[in-house]
Amino acid sequence: MCETRTLHHPLCDLEPLSVDHAAEMFPVLSDPAIYEYENAPPASEAALAARYARQVVGHSPDGRERWLNWVIRRRTGELAGYVQATLHPDGSAYIGYELASRHWRQGLGSAAVATLIGELIAHQGVTRCVAVLKARNARSLGLLHKLGFRPGSPADRTAWAVDDDELILIQPAPSRPA
C-alpha cells in the first residue's frame, strides 16, 4: 500500500482515501454537473467501493506507477470531492481532481490542489505536475492557471497521448537549493 497522510489547509483537510469513503462520496460524485465534459457518475455505491479498493492498493499492477488519493473534507465535515496523483518513475505526477458543483468557485478546489502539489513536491520527489483536461473546461483551466500551470509542448502532448479536444498543462516544481 502506498503511504499517504492527512493533509491540512485552512479551508479543508485531505484525508487518505479508504473504501469506507464510498458511502459518503457516492452522493458527491453523483452530481451530474461534474460530468459536463467527460466521464459519468459511478453506477452504484458498490461500484465506487470496488473502484476505491483498486485505488487504495497504491500502485499499478506492474508497480511502475504509485497512486495517491485523498478525499476533500470541508471544515463543516462535509465531503466535497477528491484529489489524486499518479506518480511516474521520471518524477512527474499526473494529477486529477473533482468537486461537486455546490463547492465550485469558493477557492476550495484551488486550496485542495495546491495542498496536493505541495505534498508531492515536498514529500514524494515530484519534479513536475501534469494535468490533462478538455479544452472547453474553462473552470478547470482557470484553476490550473491560478496555480502556475502552463501549456505543455507538442512533445508533451505526444508523450501523454493528449486527444485533439484536450489541453495538457505542466507545472514544474520549484528549484531546490543545492
Domain of residue 71, CATH code: 3.40.630.30
Q: Which pLDDT score is estimated for 175?
A: 55
Residue 35 domain boundaries:
7-129
Is residue 156 predicted with pLDDT exceeding 70?
yes
Structure confidence by residue, pLDDT tens digits, 119-148: 999 999 999 999 999 999 999 999 999 999
Q: Is residue 16 part of a domain?
A: yes
3-class state of residue 68 by DSSP? strand
- With beta carbons less than 8 A apart as the criterion, state whether 131 and 168 touch: yes
Length of the chain: 178
Q: Is residue 177 part of a domain?
A: no
Read off φ and ψ for residue 120, nearest 5 degrees.
-60, -45
Q: Is residue 138 part of a domain?
A: no
Total tally of structural domains belonging to the chain: 1
Picking from 85, 82, 58, the residue whose alpha carbon sits closest to that of residue 70 is: 82
Q: Is residue 157 part of a domain?
A: no
Q: Is residue 147 part of a domain?
A: no
Is residue 102 predicted with pLDDT exceeding 70?
yes
Q: Is residue 87 part of a domain?
A: yes
Cβ count near 39 (within 10 Å): 10
Q: Is residue 155 part of a domain?
A: no
Picking from 65, 175, 70, the residue whose alpha carbon sits closest to that of residue 121 is: 175
* Cα-trace Rg, the chain: 16
CA atoms within 13 A on the CB side of 107: 4
List of residues 6+ apart from 96 with CB closer than 8 A: 83, 84, 85, 131
Q: Is residue 105 part of a domain?
A: yes
38 — pLDDT class (breaks 50, 70, 90): confident
Structure confidence by residue, pLDDT tens digits, 7-35: 999 999 999 999 999 999 999 999 999 99
Q: Which pLDDT score is estimated for 4?
A: 80
Distance between CA atoms of residues 173 and 177, nearest Å: 12
85 beta partners: 68, 95
Enter the C-alpha cell of residue 69: 488519493
List of residues 6+ apart from 75 with CB closer than 8 A: 11, 12
Is residue 176 predicted with pLDDT exceeding 60?
no
